[in-house]
């Protein structure tokens, strides 16, 4: 049963390996007008051991406080190369090639797990979220900035129209019920803040 998921993970990684050189151009307007301020607000208060799932090109790295020990993982070596360039001489950052559905860390290893616009691309998000819950300390917290299925009929229609194209190009699914997936994985949502485009972009804080 694990083989199809593994193949899907490899397929998703290969897509990001191909687009890594131009990845940051694809959503540059959103990054400039929205994402940057959301990242800064969500990450500025963190401390202790932090695991970032899908670190990608490393856009979050500059927003972590110096007191954080950050481990960033990604399934795409091409994206990790970009992240390593941004990490430079940051001594508090460790970047690893790893599948989010099979985290290679002991139970209760981290104070925070962070995801930003990645739960839409992981082939089996609930499985990955269960792994995130496993490696979080009982007192830890999941911080998620994500786009997800909207309850607005008009936006829902648009999401279903563009989903096949984004899925093919980026492995990005616009119709996922991410808040529900987080709860299904065993988390209790403490905050669900709507950020933009009604309820498409949201910040979620959740406890194991």
Query: What are the structural domains of the chain?
Result: 2-207 (3.40.50.150)
- pLDDT for the residue numbered 6: 56
**pLDDT score, position 122:** 96
Helix (H) or strand (E) holding 86, with range, is helix 77-87
- Per-state percent for the chain, helix, strand, coil, to nearest 5: 45, 25, 30
Q: How many CA atoms lie within 13 A of 200 on its CB side?
A: 16
Residues 6+ apart with CB under 8 A from 66: 92
Give, as one character, the DSSP assignment of residue 58.
-
**10 backbone dihedrals φ, ψ, rounded to 5°:** -65, -40
Please give the Cα distance from 45 to 64 (Å, whole number): 8
3-state secondary structure at position 31: helix
Provide the whole-model pTM.
Answer: 0.93
Tens digit of pLDDT at every position of the chain (208 positions)? 333 455 467 778 889 999 999 999 999 999 999 999 999 999 999 999 999 999 999 999 999 999 999 999 999 999 999 999 999 989 999 999 999 999 999 999 999 999 999 999 999 999 999 999 999 999 999 999 999 999 999 999 999 999 999 998 888 999 999 999 999 999 999 999 999 999 999 999 999 9
């Amino acid at each position: 049963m694990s083989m199809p998921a593994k193949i899907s993970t490899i397929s998703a990684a290969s897509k990001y390996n191909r687009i890594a050189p131009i990845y940051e151009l694809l959503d540059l307007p959103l990054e400039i007008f929205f994402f940057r301020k959301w990242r800064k607000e969500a990450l500025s208060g963190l401390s202790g051991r932090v695991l970032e799932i899908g670190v990608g090109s490393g856009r979050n790295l500059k927003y972590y406080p110096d007191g954080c020990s950050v481990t960033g993982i990604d399934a795409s070596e091409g994206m990790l190369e970009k992240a390593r360039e941004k990490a430079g001489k940051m001594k508090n950052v460790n970047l690893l090639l790893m599948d989010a559905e099979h985290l290679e860390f002991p139970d209760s290893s981290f104070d925070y797990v962070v995801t930003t616009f990645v739960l839409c691309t992981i082939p089996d998000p609930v499985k990955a979220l269960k792994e995130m819950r496993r490696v979080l300390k009982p007192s830890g917290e999941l911080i998620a900035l994500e786009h997800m299925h909207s309850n607005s009929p008009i936006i829902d229609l648009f999401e279903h129209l563009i989903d096949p194209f984004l899925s093919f190009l980026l492995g990005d699914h616009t119709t996922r019920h991410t808040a529900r997936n987080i709860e299904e994985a065993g988390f209790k949502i403490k905050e669900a803040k709507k950020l933009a485009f009604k309820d498409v972009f949201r910040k979620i804080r959740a406890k194991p």
